[in-house]
Structure 1
Amino acid sequence: MAGFTYMGTKKTLAGTIDALCGSFDPGPFMDLFSGISAAGSAIAPKRQIWCNDAQIFSRTLTEALYLSREEGPRVDHVRSAIMMRGNDNLNLLARKARGEVEEELDALWSRDAKRQIALQSAQMDCTTARRTEWQALHSHCLFTTLYAGTYLGLVQAMQVDSIRFGADASLAAGVITAEEHSWALLSICRAVAATSNSTGHFAQYLTASDANIKRVIDKRRRCVWSFWSDALCVLKPIGDVDWRAENRVFHGDAVDVLQSMSECAERPAIIYADPPYTNDQYSRFYHLLETVLLYDYPAIDGKGQYRQGRFRSSFSLATKVDGAFKKMIAGAARVGSDLMISYPSDGLFVDSLERIPALIANHFAEVYDPIVIPHHHSTMGGSKGAQKEDVEECIFIGRRPLQAA
């Protein structure tokens, strides 16, 4: 999906998954771990698309892409309505921290790197100090009171809060539709992804230092309003209204969703599973986008300022990954769909090249030899080690589920 960063390998694999789907029976394609729907976007609209993910961000995005009853936002109208109302909130917040705003803008356009390094630390302290008072007085100051000086600069955080204010006020006034409101929030997500002081995701922010100050300043200089406006012009639904009316979006743990689907008359023709493959919980990489959408003033903790109570996948826990795979494969068979799994040879589920086909054989009449594709996995932008590492990405296929035969 244009405008968002693909985690893992889905973007590269999407074309292969699309080609393989051509040999399966007609019917819906179910993406069990949809993320930002790289696989679904490649296959649509040749098949109906069903999506599932435990993240609110993914649900909101896939609902907009595949379920919209409108043909996308009225860009000029929505932009004008939100900016007009949002400016009121921006001016209010900026006046309350006028000295800090002026200091930040002056520092960003100076050539004094040490001043900028010191400014980030000072902003973090001020953000913490103002949190209780501001949150008691203002409905839309979440990012200003949680993330200014970390993932975003002070002015950037105020802009995020003010766009959200404008979107909420425009919806409440009946000026924009609920779907246009969703597109506006997804555009904030894209703007935050483009301007955030991080390494391409939100596992942690960059602490300003002599080594990275140029990158930090480049990100801090980016205008959230501008990136939001550009995103609003780009994001739009896939297919036509009639095609979208037959798609479905689920929201939950993959194993639980399969259980609920097994009790329904409808079923997808193909279930595609691309589960997490490391012990990194993916909710770490999306937490800021979750907060953009929920806007619920969450309790946060740790260096990464993660939301408390965030989702944790069994596929990313060494003690639970075996059971998760067994339940997922058995659950797909109970639904009565053919199954396709992509997973690297060096994932947390050890000996996957041998063990995944064996598990599939317990529940499917036809088990294909794994398709092995040399690949470069992202290391999620970690500060230590290589940014990419060579692995074998494997695609496993099971057809004719025994419980449906």
Structure 2
Amino acid sequence: MDNIAILNKEVEVPHFIKYMGSKRKIINFVVEAINEVKTDGPVCDLFAGSSVLSGILRNQTHMISNDIQAYSAVLARAYLTSYNWGSCPSLVQDVVSSASEKATKFFEAFPALNFDYEQEFTVGEFVSLEEKQRQLIDYDFSSFDYHLFAKDYSGTYWSFSQCVWIDAYRATAEEYKGTPFYHAILASLMFAMSYNSQSTGHYAQYRDATSQSSMEDILTYRRKEITPFFIRKMEELQQTLGTNNFSFDTYCMDYRDCLGQLPKNAVVYADPPYAFVHYSRFYHAIETLVQYDYPEVRHKGRYRTDRHQSPFCIRTQVEDAFQEMFQRISDKEANLVLSYSNTGMIDLEALIDLATRTLGIRYMIETRTVDYLHSTMGRREDKSRNVQEALIIAKRL
């Protein structure tokens, strides 16, 4: 154990999406705990989410990144892939050129669909322009293979024009499938989508213009363009992510299935959902970007009808979910670092007691806490909350 390499926590990591409950602000706290229970086995990020831990630990250890949502695996692979950018020196220009050609053809095919945001508006005129775009969900775009966002999301989180560009970049990404650059392109597109969206940083619901001030705020985002943000992120990746000399695995599995195939002597970092709201409600749009499967969408938020429902978000199931996680970790003789909050679905003391009883006498369990400001991704009075983040650290004796 004395020869186990200490993981460096002081790593600058590019970020891709605005993520509710992201551990970016307290990642040093998390990595310190992982170092205390590090083995010569892999580190498994069991509920990877935005995959920032993969960004921190790339080129330091064998990473296993898992999340039930497919977009998380894309982000993890974007971080963990070993890049030789010199093998494709004109990559960014080539991607932008291909997407531009596709977007231009789309606009030319539908000249009547012109929604001008550069004019002066009354609130009523603006609302009418937005509503006309939302009605495109009933429009026939089938002459183009890539039209999902233009059809389903115009006038919601993005304008029609922004959606056409999202579709164009998504189509272009497929031209790079099977290359090391595929996931970097998709992740950079997620970044551009996030910073062009008029919502509050997630996709639970888009905002309506109900006043002059709210209209002007939404207009700020409607007047943005996808391409500059895409270029900015791709160039940042070229400057910050190079060779990764360590192997890695990424999975889109239920946490139980991932633990079931985990090698022995691993370290598991578990950051399950804390609240009753399901993450699939907040990030369905980027899940759809990755799947690009033309799902049935419903309600104002244009949600997928097959959204994942986590047992950690259901009060009647959360205790059993934790107990099963602890039992499977014990079965694999793994060490554990578990993040949880004093605002979670299960009381912290009850959670610690459950871990102690399930893991048993073969584990030494320690708890430590840190106070931090948790982002709720809102724009109003409740956009952040003071919470106490707890780490439950379980080391096999």
TM-score (norm 1): 0.86
Q: Which amino acid aligns with 2:137?
A: T
Q: Find the partner of 2:141 among 123, 134, 143.
A: 134
Structure 2 residue 121 is matched with structure 1 residue 121: no
Contact 1:44 1:239 in 2 (8 A): no
Partner of 2:93: 80
Residue 76 of structure 1: how far off its partner (Å): 5.4
**Partner AA of 1:33 in structure 2:** F
Residue matched to 2:218: 216
Match of 1:247 in 2: 248
SS of structure 1 residue aligned to 2:30:
helix
Alignment partner, residue 12 of structure 1: 25
Distance in 1 separating the partners of 2:73 and 2:370: 29
> In the alignment, is the contact (CA less than 8 A) between 1:73 and 1:179 conserved in 2?
no
- In the TM superposition, residue 268 of structure 1 has moved relative to its aligned partner by 4.8
Unaligned runs of 5+ in 1: none
The answer for the alignment partner of 2:168 in structure 1 is 162
Runs of 5+ consecutive residues of structure 2 not aligned to the other structure: 1-13
Contact kept in structure 2, 1:86 and 1:163, CA below 8 Å: yes
Could you tell me whether the CA contact under 8 Å between 1:272 and 1:339 is conserved in 2? yes
Q: Map 1:364-403; keep pairs closer than 5 Å.
A: 364=360, 365-381=362-378, 386-400=382-396
**145-154 vs 390-399, greater mean Cα deviation:** 390-399
2:352 aligned residue: 356
Residues 148 and 49 of structure 1, relative CA distance in 2, 3 Å threshold = same
**Conserved 8 A contact 2:78-2:187:** no
What secondary structure sits across from 2:352 in the alignment? helix
Which aligned runs of 4 or more in structure 1 are off by greater than 4 angstroms? Answer: 72-76, 236-239
Aligned to 1:303: 300
Alpha-carbon distance in 2 for matches of 1:6, 1:73: 31
- Structure 2 distance, partners of 1:327, 1:46, is 30
Shift of residue 70, structure 1, vs aligned partner: 3.2
Q: CA deviation at 1:45?
A: 3.6
Find the aligned partners of 2:163 and 2:364 in 1 and give their Cα distance.
51
Secondary structure class of the residue paired with 2:328: helix
**In 2: Cα distance, 1:23 partner to 1:72 partner:** 35
Classify 1:398/1:17 alpha carbon distance in 2 versus 1 (closer, same or farther; 3 Å): same
TM-score (norm 2): 0.88
Q: Quote the sequence identity (%).
A: 25
Number of residue pairs aligned between Structure 1 and Structure 2: 380
Q: Is the 8 A contact 1:81 1:166 kept in 2?
A: no
Q: Which residue does the alignment assign to 2:5?
A: none
Query: What residue number does 2:106 align with?
Result: 93
Provide closer, same or farther for how the CA distance between residues 322 and 98 of structure 1 changes in structure 2, counting only shifts above 3 A.
Answer: same
Q: Which secondary structure does the structure 2 equivalent of 1:373 belong to? A: strand
> C-alpha root-mean-square deviation of aligned residues, in Å?
2.3
Q: CA deviation at 1:165?
A: 2.5
**Separation in structure 2 between the aligned mates of residue 74 and residue 320 of structure 1, nearest angstrom:** 50
Match 2:277 to one of 280, 284, 288: 280
Task: Look up the equivalent residue of 1:329 and give its one-letter code.
Answer: F
1:378-404: CA deviation from partner (whole Å, max 9, x where unpaired): 234276x52222222111111117xxx
